[in-house]
A = this chain, B = another copy of it.
Amino acid sequence: MKVDLLVHAPHMYTMAGEGLGYCAGQSIAVDKGKILAIGPAEEIRGAYTAEKVVEAPHHVLLPGFIDCHMHTRHAVYRGIAQDMNNWMWAGMAPFESQSTSQTKAAGSRLGMAEAILNGTTTIGDDGPDMEGAIQNAIAFGVRGNISPRIREVDFAPYGPGELYRFYSELGQASLEDCVRLFDTYHNYDNGRIRILFGPQGADFVSSELMKKVCRMAKERGTRVHMHFSQGTREDEQIQKRYGCRPVAYLDSLGVIDENLIAVHLTSATDEEVALTAQRGATMVLCTSSIGVINGEVPPAKVFMDHGGIVGLGSDQSPGNNNHNMFNEMKLTAVCNKCKYGTPLIFPAWKVLRMATIEGARAIGLGDITGSLETGKAADMILVDLRQPSLSPVITSPMRNIAANLVYAGRGHEVDTVIAAGKILVEHRRPVTFDLDAILDEVQQEADIVSKKAEERFWATDSAIAQYMKHDQL
């Protein structure tokens, strides 16, 4: 039988079952974007022919990574906000407030390109003005799980503790934009593109709009993706406005349920984490970003201890500063070990599952992607094990492949990236996008935005503004 694609590699992690589903000498046949068959190499070679055959002699085949939470557009100002307090308003806002739709679309191209080159096949993108990001995901061939942002607050320079003003016209316009994008793109290309509803957080929309958004998402059979208990800034706003903490507030609105993807939980207490998990919401853990921005390790362990599902997210490039799931895996393992003072927790195999199948489950795509099983989408990557960081390969008595992917992998070892059966990257070279053009365009946009950000940047007098003055950057 003739199929679209055959992939042969000596090692495979399927993520089927409860472990990693390792198998040796198995191959995969792909047709119409899906996995048609998995079996011993000789059987697959005997049963199928294909236009395109990928022979990967010293590689491991595994599901493409699921990046559950990203703001790809921010790649335009990578690395301009870290090592500082008041990250959002003193770090990001001077630049973000100067972004046009063109800036965002260009940034999104770089953020997605970076993620894909490092093995991500599902982009969980979140932000305002997402037409460009959606078009990028469509063009690049990657799976897009896109949350257009709903927000009632402007970009005025709010100081710490100052209550945001709500502008109902901003909320209404952003909701309408989300609905328009949902109507236009949801389930595009056999479900490769999915549109979620993305209220920015409890502090950025009014109670009425929050309830409405969550109801509308449910009516449309899609999820709500939201920053959730993300730090003292949100705590203060909610306390000031409603006299309680964010989780209690959101629970009183009835919006913490199995339709909610709760991102961060940075400042949630153990009781609040337990409640969120018990209500059936899922959690996204952005270890690297929250570590840099807040100096905190979010309570993913507590969430999982209460039966919750946790995926990983790279968040954004100012204050992470990259979109690379290898970075997320290593930091997630190490930061949690250090938080709890034991090397036993967050072992490599659990973290590798969080970056693949658990991530897919966390964002509602567990039946579609995240593991290599017959009938699921052909979203997969080949990682070259003949790289210094991943060599040698030991399979007995200890198999070192998963441990090295998590603790030593850097991202450039990803040789081939396949999403929905289509090759996006081959031998480290992008097939579906022009990296040179993207880099040029982003540099131009960065030059424009940086110039406009100047006055407000210096006015912040932040730690990094001080560093600039003292030859420390």
Contact = CB atoms under 8 A, between A and B. Distances in A.
8 contacts: A78-B390, A288-B330, A292-B337, A331-B334, A344-B463, A348-B473, A386-B439, A398-B450
Interface stretch (A124-132, A179-187, A315-323, A416-424): A315-323
A202 interface: no
Contacts of A46: none
A365 interface: no
A343 B84 contact: yes
Interface stretch (A60-68, A188-196, A406-414): A406-414
A458 B398 CA distance: 9
A106 to B, nearest CB: 10
Nearest to A115: B388
Nearest to A295: B337
Interface string A287-300: 01001111111000
Nearest to A111: B388
A167 interface: no
A320 B408 contact: yes
A324 interface: yes
A85 interface: yes
Listed from nearest, the 4 A-B pairs whose CB atoms lie closest are: A79-B400, A19-B471, A83-B347, A295-B337
Contacts of A408: 78-79, 317, 320-322
B348 A83 contact: yes
Nearest to A341: B295
A439 B387 CA distance: 8
Nearest to A399: B473
B397 A457 contact: yes
Nearest to A456: B397
A321 B404 CA distance: 7
Interface in A376-416: 386, 388-394, 396-404, 407-408, 410-412
A427 interface: no
Interface in A71-88: 75-85, 87
A19 B327 CA distance: 27
A174 to B, nearest CB: 27
A258 interface: no
A77 B398 CA distance: 10
A442 interface: yes
A355 to B, nearest CB: 15
A110 interface: yes
A17 interface: yes
Contact of A468 (B348, B399, B439, B446): B399
Contacts of A242: none
A37 B344 CA distance: 52
Interface in A321-347: 321-322, 324, 326-327, 330-331, 333-335, 337-345, 347
A291 B388 contact: no
Nearest to A391: B439
Contact of A392 (B76, B288, B297, B344): B76
A57 interface: no
Nearest to A336: B295
A293 B343 contact: yes
A159 interface: no
B333 A330 contact: no
A440 to B, nearest CB: 9
A453 B331 CA distance: 30
A454 interface: yes
Given A322-B408, A391-B110, A435-B388, A403 B471 contact: no
A392 B442 contact: yes
Given A330-B327, A410-B411, A343 B473 contact: no
